[in-house]
Copies of this chain bind each other. A is one copy, B any other.
């Protein structure tokens, strides 16, 4: 794998097939960029109608190139791409970057054509980036590869960037240049016919030049692979992602754009939670985060001190920081004392520390030198609004001079300094991230801080409970034999029971006599529900009688229900379900749904209105660990209702946690299950009184049941 991607990112020779002399064409721009970057290996332009391209001898086909070729950059019209790739295969080329468009992204014949490309690269053991991509970049001075056709030339840096959209790639490179962000490698992966974001992510993991990774994604080819790769990479190299297609309409646009189904947004969030990928809402935020991440250490905690020469921006910073969950402890008395020895009498010695408008380079230098020693802070934000009286380059120099040696995370804001600001350029060149508005800096810091928190979280292990999988297999098989793919009632309860989940007894009775016997076994009080004929919304239809306390009440209940259902269909025999009466503190729901591209998602929420009206539910990918299950429970807005509200006893959270883990194990063991509902799962203060009262399991893909 690595070698193949080395052929893409570290080729020693390139054939540029479809290179052109025509200014403004992609073939021209790509070849020009390769030369402009001063690629360290050999470049062979290929074009059947030209002898010279860019003052260099051109060849009719790649087969005519006299030397070995590692990488082919392909820019020919789409119908010629298959033949071109075949020639590359014959030539022994190892990697191809196909910039040409008109494949799966346009549907129809384009899809067929793309499949042909994949067949060819498989046949010749080549690897392929694209088609429909923007090219790749490797700024390593030993390689110096830029086979994009963009106008913007990325500077050298430690950011690896993977983008699914070529257009976004160009826009993003331009934006990065303006912010002074440098790249190690860039891969525009286009339609991902062969090489996916997962492949590149894995490659970046071991790339010594790459410290942080930015992703622009429209969909996930293989979310499960992504999960395991991203989770591993995140431990050492932070990943920041914009995943577009958040809304349903957005997902539809993504679908028509890339020919792949966009995932449910809740699934993406669940996936990112599991992998530690920092999700941002916009491309702007992608850069805001990248600026600090690529230049500064991850903060050691969430305590920030703001030093400013203007009150207004200080307030904006405070608002934003606190709103995003950061803390702003007051200056310590020792710090204040030291600051007072040189500060203006008008200064405000709180946090934000407002040095007031007269403050210039010297004040910034002295003040920052004092606060950087204060152990109450993990990060420092220096805000400067350039008044006419102060030289902003001098201020920038002094901010850097004061903070160059601190191990705190440093950010600067130069509000209104203007695009051509020398101060901004100076800080960028000296590894201090600099923002125009403090809100952006604050948001970026908060996202990074959240990631730090994730890194520190105990990851936990996936627990394997002793369960009776054979029994589940039998019940599933028996249901499938009957052509039944929706397992309900006693069967559903027995499956849960086989996985060690506490369920309320679920017994059928066909006669009054049977009902009396069952009630005695269950112990009073009991609940009785109509079983046959099947009734939807039993409670509303009067098909449920609760709190039956004696034999005579059971008897009359049976008769009452029999009367209520009236005439039966031919072959139907009246029956009831009987259960012990479960009275707990809180009704909850545990569920599982299968996302078409992300696979199973476990759901947890409080029953009734909390799920249905307040939409207060949490989704997580599997497998769950105890730690993740606990955080999942705590993430609910209605969580306080579980910990004792208005004098009720707190429920036993460990039972909820364990039940989530057991459901997770059931889902892992039985891939044929596509939906599960434990509703209600009644929970209480004591473990014994936590019980699933009803359940339903749906089988989608029978073939995956073994």
Q: Which residues of B contact A258 (CB under 8 A)?
A: 311
Asked if B323 and A247 sit within 8 Å, CB to CB, the answer is yes
Asked if B250 and A350 sit within 8 Å, CB to CB, the answer is no
A72-91 residues with Cβ-Cβ distance < 8 A to B are none
Asked if B416 and A175 sit within 8 Å, CB to CB, the answer is yes
- How many Å from the CB of A597 to the closest CB on chain B? 16
Which one of B171, B257, B310 lies within 8 Å of A415 (CB-CB)? B171
Answer yes or no: A626 CB below 8 A from chain B CBs. no
Answer yes or no: A52 CB below 8 A from chain B CBs. no
Given contacts A152-B416, A257-B354, contact A346 B102 (CB under 8 A): yes
A416 to chain B: closest residue by CB? B171
Q: Which residues of B contact A248 (CB under 8 A)?
A: 322
Asked if B311 and A167 sit within 8 Å, CB to CB, the answer is yes
A14-33 residues with Cβ-Cβ distance < 8 A to B are 24-26, 29
- How many Å from the CB of A20 to the closest CB on chain B? 11
Which one of B168, B172, B216, B249 lies within 8 Å of A328 (CB-CB)? B249
Q: Which residues of B contact A101 (CB under 8 A)?
A: 346, 356-357
Answer yes or no: A579 CB below 8 A from chain B CBs. no
A611-659 residues with Cβ-Cβ distance < 8 A to B are 612-614, 616, 637-638, 640-641, 645-647
A177 to chain B: closest residue by CB? B418
Answer yes or no: A348 CB below 8 A from chain B CBs. yes
- Copies of chain A in the complex: 2
Given contacts A168-B312, A312-B168, A314-B253, contact A24 B102 (CB under 8 A): no
Answer yes or no: A549 CB below 8 A from chain B CBs. no
Asked if B613 and A315 sit within 8 Å, CB to CB, the answer is no
Given contacts A174-B418, A256-B348, A609-B645, contact A168 B310 (CB under 8 A): yes
Q: How far is the CA of A440 from the CA of B440 in the complex (A)?
A: 14
Q: Which residues of B contact A647 (CB under 8 A)?
A: 540
Q: How far is the CA of A439 from the CA of B250 in the complex (A)?
A: 12
Answer yes or no: A494 CB below 8 A from chain B CBs. no
A427-442 residues with Cβ-Cβ distance < 8 A to B are 436-437, 439-440
Q: How far is the CA of A599 from the CA of B267 in the complex (A)?
A: 45
Interface string of A249-263 (1 = CB under 8 A from B): 110111011100000
Q: Which residues of B contact A385 (CB under 8 A)?
A: 167-168, 170-171
Interface string of A503-521 (1 = CB under 8 A from B): 0000000000000000000
Q: How far is the CA of A133 from the CA of B615 in the complex (A)?
A: 48
Supply 28 A–B pairs (Cβ within 8 Å), ascending by A: A25-B389, A26-B389, A106-B345, A106-B346, A149-B387, A152-B418, A163-B312, A165-B310, A165-B312, A166-B310, A167-B310, A167-B311, A168-B312, A170-B415, A174-B417, A178-B419, A244-B315, A245-B319, A246-B319, A250-B315, A253-B315, A257-B354, A284-B436, A284-B437, A419-B419, A609-B645, A612-B645, A614-B614
Asked if A250 and B346 sit within 8 Å, CB to CB, the answer is no
Q: How far is the CA of A128 from the CA of B97 in the complex (A)?
A: 68
Asked if B105 and A439 sit within 8 Å, CB to CB, the answer is no
Q: Which 6 A-B residue pairings sit nearest by Cβ, starting from the closest? A: A165-B312, A167-B310, A171-B416, A171-B415, A257-B311, A174-B416
Which one of B149, B318, B354, B640 lies within 8 Å of A388 (CB-CB)? B149
Q: How far is the CA of A175 from the CA of B437 in the complex (A)?
A: 10
Which one of B178, B309, B315 lies within 8 Å of A257 (CB-CB)? B315
A240-298 residues with Cβ-Cβ distance < 8 A to B are 242, 244-250, 252-254, 256-258, 281-284
A323 to chain B: closest residue by CB? B247
Interface string of A152-185 (1 = CB under 8 A from B): 1000000000011111101111110010000000
Q: How far is the CA of A178 from the CA of B178 in the complex (A)?
A: 14
A352 to chain B: closest residue by CB? B253
Q: Which residues of B contact A95 (CB under 8 A)?
A: none
Asked if B416 and A170 sit within 8 Å, CB to CB, the answer is yes
Answer yes or no: A211 CB below 8 A from chain B CBs. no
Q: Which residues of B contact A543 (CB under 8 A)?
A: none
Answer yes or no: A151 CB below 8 A from chain B CBs. yes
Asked if A164 and B645 sit within 8 Å, CB to CB, the answer is no
A sample of 14 more A-B contacts (CB under 8 A), given A106-B356, A168-B385, is: A101-B346, A167-B310, A168-B415, A174-B417, A244-B312, A246-B323, A250-B319, A250-B322, A253-B314, A257-B354, A282-B437, A282-B440, A540-B646, A613-B641
Answer yes or no: A580 CB below 8 A from chain B CBs. no
Q: Which residues of B contact A311 (CB under 8 A)?
A: 105, 165, 167, 253, 257-258
Asked if A170 and B387 sit within 8 Å, CB to CB, the answer is yes
Q: Which residues of B contact A281 (CB under 8 A)?
A: 439
Q: Which residues of B contact A638 (CB under 8 A)?
A: 609, 613-614
Answer yes or no: A313 CB below 8 A from chain B CBs. yes
- How many Å from the CB of A249 to the closest CB on chain B? 5
- How many Å from the CB of A638 to the closest CB on chain B? 6
Answer yes or no: A299 CB below 8 A from chain B CBs. no
- How many Å from the CB of A178 to the closest CB on chain B? 6
Given contacts A149-B387, A244-B319, contact A256 B350 (CB under 8 A): yes
